[in-house]
Structures are given as structure tokens and as C-alpha cells.
Amino acid sequence: MQITVDIAGQAYRADLAQPLDIGIPLREGLETVNCFYAPPMETSPVVAGDFVGSTQQGGPLNFLNIKFNVHGNGTHTECVGHIAKERYTINQSLQQFHFPARLISLYPEKTAAGDRVVFRHQLEELLADTAPTEALVLRTLPNDELKLRTNHSGANPPYLHHGAAAYLVERGVEHLLLDLPSVDREEDGGELAAHHTFWQYPGPTRAHSTITELIYVNNSIPDGLYLLNIQIASFEIDASPSKPVLYSLEPT
């Protein structure tokens, strides 16, 4: 099935039969992505009398309880409820699911303090001559499949400078996706400057904007324009595990 997408007056065609999954699967155990010292995902069968919800343990079907941390165990999409004192939920904040998106790749710059940071001027250089899109997908370099099973806890991974977040707001980016544990520094004393800047909180809050963290964009997917689909579960909390999918666009 093919559909047509309009970006800045140019029509593009997307083939929905050719999805490019940029999410990281949720898995039990330690051989998967993890951050902020979250315990790994666990599953356990429901046990009620003689009933066991596990076919491997002799039950008639699998009926599992799942325990995980949305922000620490895999690809997730969050809303301003992640930092707000007021109640915002991802199910209420994200009510559209398809967006024109641009994928860009860059090396975070190393600072004198040893941090690796994505700065405003880097985004300006890559985006200045491009048409604005509602979504931006950021792939950091170097990029390899280790991102599918890295434990980022205590490693001070790269992050976004709040000036870079401000630039994205100025460009009208409503949905930011990146392959990092957080847009902010792992330990920043609770400042969360990039989160606050992107959502403009407190103030005229961008309540329908989202941040998707811990994606993985394979090197086989080139930079450029795409149609993005963000799939979430209908959680009435600040975030949900998510499955972001890209579709290549061809000019018509």
C-alpha cells in the first residue's frame, strides 16, 4: 500500500509495505539496553490454584505478568508529564501518530570536561538549508549494534545541550527521537535543562510534543526525509514503551 505525503509543497510517496523499525525490543535479562540503574525487565506467570500461566511449566497458555521501567529498559516515548508537577499522560498528549521526519547523523562534540554533547551549531549546520519537519530523528556517531545492548548506567553518555533543544523548538520540531538514554546529562543535579527547554516548561507548555529515547537507527538507513509512525501503548502515565517506524519517501 502506498500513500502520498506533502512536505513544504512537495509531494512524496511512501510504501507502507517497507517499514524501517528504529525501536529496540524489550527483552528480559542483561543482554539488552539499560540506563539509570533500572532493574532489567522481568516476566512471571500468573499462578492461581492449579493454574500456571506458562506453557513451558505445563499450563495451557502463556499468561504473564511483566515488570519493567519505561525509561530505563528500552525505546520509549515520553511527554511533558515526565517533568511537570501537573498531570500529563502520554496517551492524552500523543494523539496523532504519523509525521514527516528528517533523519540526521552527527558526532557529539567532546567538551573540556570530557562530556560528549550535541550543540546548537551542529544542528544548524545540518538543518539550515532543509525544509522544517514535525519530527527529527537524531542518530549519534559512531553507530553500531552495541547500542542494542549497552548498559549506560554510570557511563555519562552523550546528551543534548539546552541551546540545541531551543533551536529545535524554533524550527517547529514537535517530536524528537534520539539514540541516547536522555536528552539531558545523566547526572545534572535535577536541572533537566534540555527537557524543560524542549517542552517550554513551565510556561506556554508544548503539551503535545514528545521525546523518544533509546532508539537504534541501523547504518543501512541513510539520512534524509521519511514518514514516521510512533506506536505507543495507551498508558495514562508520562511515558510508554514505543515502536517508532520510518518509511522511505520518494518524490512524485
pTM comes to 0.97
CATH of the structural domain 2-37+70-251, one choice from 3.50.30.50, 3.40.50.300, 3.30.420.40, 3.30.1360.20: 3.50.30.50
Domain boundaries, the chain: 2-37+70-251
User: C-alpha cell of 154?
Assistant: 554510570
Shortest CA distance to 72 belongs to which of 193, 175, 154, 194?
Answer: 154
Q: For residue 9, what pLDDT band results from cuts at 50, 70 and 90?
A: confident
List Cα–Cα distances, 1 to 15, 91, 231, in angstroms: 6, 27, 19
Report pLDDT for 8: 85
Residues 136-184 pLDDT 10s: 999 999 999 999 999 999 999 999 999 999 999 999 999 999 999 999 9
Residues 33-73 pLDDT 10s: 999 999 999 999 999 999 999 999 999 999 999 999 999 99
- Torsion angle in degrees (nearest 10) through CA of 247, 249, 250, 252: 110
